Chains A and B, each alone.
Chain A
Amino acid sequence: MKPISFFSLFIVGIVIIFSCTTLKRYNSIEETGTNNTLAGIDLFGFRLSDSKPENGNKTLWDLSADAQSQFIKILNTRYPDNEEFFEAMSFEYLKEDEPLFPDSYINKDLRMIFSVFKQRDYGNRNNLSGIELSPADRIEYLKIMLSIPDDSGVRFTGWNMFTTEYGTMDIADVSFSRSLEIDASGLISSDKKESGGELSTGGKSSASSREDQEIKYRYIKLNGRISNNEIEMEEEGTREIDLTGNIMADISLEFERFPELITYFIGLKDSAGKFNEPERIIMQYSEVIIPRMEKVKDTVFADLKMDYVYRNVIKGENTFPEWDDRIKYYRGSVSKTVPLFTSNDYIPDFYCIGNEKDSEGRNIIKMGAAFKKEYSLIFRTYKDASAFREWLADHFNRNGNRNKTVNIGGYTLKFINEELTDEIYKKLPGFSIIPCYW
């Protein structure tokens, strides 16, 4: 054999070895299509809770490794008892006093759980999509956008977490072997582990290879963007990772601001449990910030949109590896309106004392001050409102207080446009504790 042909065979062999043993994304690909029926998304869970700012408290575990070690030795000396020692390791230091009640009711944490699904009508071309689906198909790319209307009175302020079930995963060993035959004048046998091979001339040739691939940690790509009224999540899977499943996003949001005045009464009862006279009661006001929204919206809705790329396996679906697949990518887009949270989630749970609500509005007890100023008597909790109502009922039941107004700390109790007396209080039906907002 001439040296030139031997060299050619050698080159061809090397090319074949590397082209056949290197992992490929697919074998061949067809032109990309568009289909909006292959995948879908739902927001099946949401929860709005009060945002709790991080406190500055420190624990043992906030210290450096050396400091932890020293600290544990000290704790061990100081608390020889096992139980006390374990308790001591959970102590918090530099503790700040936490306020009993917040002054702001506009910051909330929103947890959303999205569910991404795909069609699974395998092997049936007469399905909704008109495409023959297989178990080897997968959603390869997702972009989820959630936007709230500009006039919703709320805006996104921060992103705390974005998690999918594939955030981190260990897929261990991927081992496969394959054999192939080529019509060439050469014999090639190769084992990648040995990183070498034999080559000899001959008639019909065959090649076999074995690959062991170890991929310890495989991440899918997660991207997130946030603006005042839109969040955007991007997710891109790699080989054999189907992006169907649940996605959890924790978002911080803030309502527009509106001021409100909360009233506290101190000393409604004396140390013996008897109701005090008005002059012994101290009234305090506290200004708080509540959400600004002209009308209470029963449900705040958002627009949810998902763009996706669907990897449809036309041939090769019977094997787990993807390198031998003949595929076609489909782009798709779905959108819907979803409920984000309800009025119970964001309306402050304040209470007043007054008539039952009607279409004309509320009639509640107010505090009349100097210069003809009046302020609503708003209680932060039902318990506070109930305690004052009990005091008021007791006050009006005393003989000496008949037809007298109630003056506490320079303020006079008023109802509608009159000063409140026992006559008005007892005459009006449905005088009870009512929610402030509805």
Chain B
Amino acid sequence: MYYLTIKNLGIEKCIDKNIEDIYEDGQYYSYLPDLFFVKNRIVKSIKIKCVEIPGPVFNATVYSD
């Protein structure tokens, strides 16, 4: 499983997960979910955009279990 996470105010949370690594720069995601995730291995760091606040780009990390 692949987990897409973002970090704010010291809290890292998973906003999406998928059995395949579908995550790429520039994709839009909702930042509201807080899913359970496992951070065994860092796959990559990407820059994604927020559905709730369009415009700015946020750093995100993709983990796999």
Contacts and interface: CB of A to CB of B under 8 A. Distances in A.
A376 B34 contact: yes
B59 A294 contact: yes
B42 interface: no
A347 B9 CA distance: 8
B33 A361 contact: no
Interface string A192-222: 0000000000000000000000000000000
Interface residues of A, number: 30
B11 A436 contact: yes
A256 B34 CA distance: 21
Interface string B12-43: 11000000000000000001111110000000
A259 B13 contact: no
B10 A437 contact: yes
A105 to B, nearest CB: 11
Nearest to A289: B53
A362 B33 CA distance: 15
Interface string A398-438: 00000000000000001011000000000000000000111
Nearest to A416: B36
A387 B35 CA distance: 25
Interface string A354-376: 00000001100010000011111
A295 interface: yes
B34 A374 contact: yes
B32 A294 contact: no
A437 B9 contact: yes
Contact of A291 (B9, B33, B58): B9
Contacts of A414: 36
B33 A375 contact: yes
B33 A374 contact: yes
Nearest to B11: A437
Interface in B39-58: 50, 52-53, 56, 58
A276 B9 CA distance: 35
Contacts of A331: none
A133 to B, nearest CB: 49
Nearest to A290: B9
A301 B25 CA distance: 32
B32 A375 contact: yes
Contacts of A9: none
Nearest to B58: A292
27 contacts: A257-B53, A258-B9, A258-B31, A259-B32, A259-B52, A260-B32, A289-B53, A292-B8, A292-B58, A295-B9, A295-B10, A347-B9, A361-B11, A366-B34, A373-B33, A373-B35, A374-B34, A374-B36, A375-B34, A376-B13, A376-B34, A414-B36, A416-B36, A436-B9, A436-B11, A437-B9, A437-B11
Interface of B: 7-13, 31-36, 50, 52-53, 56, 58-59
Given A376-B13, A437-B10, 18 more contacts: A257-B56, A258-B8, A259-B32, A259-B50, A290-B9, A292-B8, A292-B58, A293-B8, A294-B7, A294-B59, A361-B12, A362-B11, A373-B33, A374-B33, A374-B34, A375-B33, A375-B34, A437-B9
